[in-house]
Structure 1
């Protein structure tokens, strides 16, 4: 019995350290990459948009491939470890290239391997959670902690040593993460879903496709903000340490809100919570367009908790409620592809051109207009009853 408890504690520790390190690595690279490309490499706004938009496009195309390979080999832990090692290697390769063409190539290859990390690790952890009745949220919480710690620490470190340190930190942390990934449990219970059959069922739920448009308009700006927020803070005079502080405050505000999200959904209704999240996003983006004082920006970063922290859990639940039971997996997969993939790509790509020809503040006006359109569309989606 004691040996079993010790084994469970060891597995939990591996999960905690894995998520902490992987999200620490993501937090080290993503927030400051746009600043590095502009200030150290000298790329234009449209070039930056092109580089940053590669990742969401690759994820749409490559994530299903990783899933197919995992299902075929039944070795998700081995694949995850290989992907982490290659992700770490590509971090160093990325730091060594300076021409636009090579940066595009490095970003594409990095995205191929990085696309495997979250889906494979989530699949492994969900399988383990189902087997042991453990709380999945307690595992993913360490990812949020890792990201919040990273953006502050690496921001300060970059200010002291230079922006290239983001790549060395990324590589080192992902390499250590591979050690913990290799020790994750090797259970694999894949669920095969017919996409064609699922789509046939979803056609019978037109409100679902309206909600896909809303997810595109809300999640696109939220995710693209991760790339442009650094430039925004830098142009307001916040510096690299200020970028880290702003990202830490924003990321840190999500977990407490998520903790109460389901309770609020039951109390106020799902549509009202979705409207609140969309409205908060809209107001935040329009505020940033007005070039507010840096202190006000820091104070309003907690809005991310009420936008991202509420919208993501409410949207996932809404999608599950809208879709027929037999098409649940297809509905969530398509929702993720449209919001996290297409929406992210569209806003990141066009944001680069707006940055080049206007300013980063105009990028946030663009984000605000998209989110406002989502608020209007939300008024037309049907209210879901909450249990």
Structure 2
């Protein structure tokens, strides 16, 4: 592995943190408020569920496909810039279409090119910080802070402006991400070549398959929250500023969790963090199913530190330990494809129908997904312990 970061090592944490700040400007404005923009285009609940699902589902196919290309070529940064350019052009096309079908096509194109970017970015971070004192959680938390600023800030601005503003904020954030990516270290690995078959090699590992199933259930259970929390809270009379605060508050808790990430990692195994994430998420969604008061929502939003933060930190810890460098980009992408594509994407396809049929009680379905995730995490723990015992004998 080689990197251009050696001559300017003191700048490395700033370059990596800047990437997370920029890409979470996109996520922090898109995740809470893209359904608002879609609703302003005349879309109903089922249509919003499908349109928010399509870019996420694209990760299921295109994230592993493009990342395995990265491992075969040994490339990271230059592929990111190519996909970012295509994503920016695709997002511009939203201004050229109208109606469900047009929005569906553009959503697929945008999601296809956006799919591998976070996986590549995380992979560059993990590879460029190996052998240093830099901690992934401390770098990633700047993304969470960015999410907080965007979700709260956009909510405040929406109270004073039209819903169309959401589109222009997201577009500007994608452009910012492109500019910041130019400054990332050009980390490369030894190319696997055409015979590498990184996806097949990883999926043959039982532990890795259990890991993928676990994160798919955990993150998939967040789909109803991602797609309809803002619209549901609006229907209850909460202002956009207050809704933005609730989203931001959840990520503040996540930031605090990441600050102590290295200490947590030293004491809790990866499967332990996944068990914590799944069980906490089950508790959280069960509470939301009863359509609780604002005070209860305020308290339970803090559990995002565990339902998402513990899952993500556990996933990074597992892959950093269990996956070799030459398969690292593909492993990152399969994690993204499973958690964000298979889990959240597939679930998003149906949450619109669930929400229209049952309202907040649809969160009970999310609770069942978390129970399944807990079972997978416990199975991973048993598998890991058997592997350890086998290696010791």
Q: TM-score with structure 1 length normalisation?
A: 0.83
**CA positional deviation for 1:191:** 5.7
Paired residues of 1:233 and 1:242 also in contact (CA < 8 A): no
2:37 corresponds to 1:36: yes
Name the residue aligned to 1:370: 369
Paired residues of 1:24 and 1:150 also in contact (CA < 8 A): yes
Paired residues of 1:89 and 1:171 also in contact (CA < 8 A): no
Kindly provide the CA deviation profile for residues 115-144 of structure 1, in whole angstroms up to 9, marking residues without a partner as x: 232123233333432376644433322212
**CA positional deviation for 1:335:** 4.6
**CA positional deviation for 1:220:** 0.6
Structure 1: runs of 5+ lacking an equivalent: none
Distance change in 2, residues 1:215/1:94 (3 Å): same
Distance change in 2, residues 1:188/1:273 (3 Å): closer
Paired residues of 1:35 and 1:231 also in contact (CA < 8 A): yes
**CA positional deviation for 1:288:** 1.0
Paired residues of 1:152 and 1:241 also in contact (CA < 8 A): yes
- Inter-partner Cα distance in structure 2 for 1:10 and 1:264: 26
Name the residue aligned to 2:391: none
**CA positional deviation for 1:301:** 0.6
**CA positional deviation for 1:167:** 1.2
Q: Which runs of 4+ in 1 moved over 6 A?
A: 323-328
Alignment of 1:1-387 (within 5 A): 7-38=8-39, 40-70=40-70, 76-130=76-130, 134-190=134-190, 192=192, 193-195=196-198, 198=201, 201-202=204-205, 205=206, 209-223=209-223, 225-261=225-261, 263-264=263-264, 267=267, 273-317=273-317, 334-359=334-359, 361-375=360-374, 378=377, 382-383=381-382
**CA positional deviation for 1:74:** 5.9
**CA positional deviation for 1:339:** 2.6
Paired residues of 2:51 and 2:107 also in contact (CA < 8 A): yes
Distance change in 2, residues 1:183/1:355 (3 Å): same
**CA positional deviation for 1:82:** 3.6
- Inter-partner Cα distance in structure 2 for 1:187 and 1:6: 13
- Inter-partner Cα distance in structure 2 for 1:110 and 1:197: 27
Q: TM-score with structure 2 length normalisation?
A: 0.82
Paired residues of 2:88 and 2:171 also in contact (CA < 8 A): yes
**CA positional deviation for 1:25:** 1.8
Structure 2: runs of 5+ lacking an equivalent: 389-393
**CA positional deviation for 1:68:** 4.7
Kindly provide the CA deviation profile for residues 204-237 of structure 1, in whole angstroms up to 9, marking residues without a partner as x: x4x6545544333222112553222222322232
Distance change in 2, residues 1:200/1:267 (3 Å): closer
- Inter-partner Cα distance in structure 1 for 2:331 and 2:180: 32
What is the number of equivalent residue pairs in this alignment?
377
RMSD: 3.4
Distance change in 2, residues 1:259/1:113 (3 Å): same
Paired residues of 1:216 and 1:342 also in contact (CA < 8 A): yes
Distance change in 2, residues 1:367/1:198 (3 Å): same
**CA positional deviation for 1:278:** 1.9
- Inter-partner Cα distance in structure 1 for 2:41 and 2:17: 35
- Inter-partner Cα distance in structure 1 for 2:116 and 2:332: 18
**CA positional deviation for 1:88:** 3.2
Paired residues of 1:88 and 1:170 also in contact (CA < 8 A): no
- SS for the counterpart of 1:340 is helix
Paired residues of 1:261 and 1:314 also in contact (CA < 8 A): no
- Inter-partner Cα distance in structure 1 for 2:189 and 2:380: 35
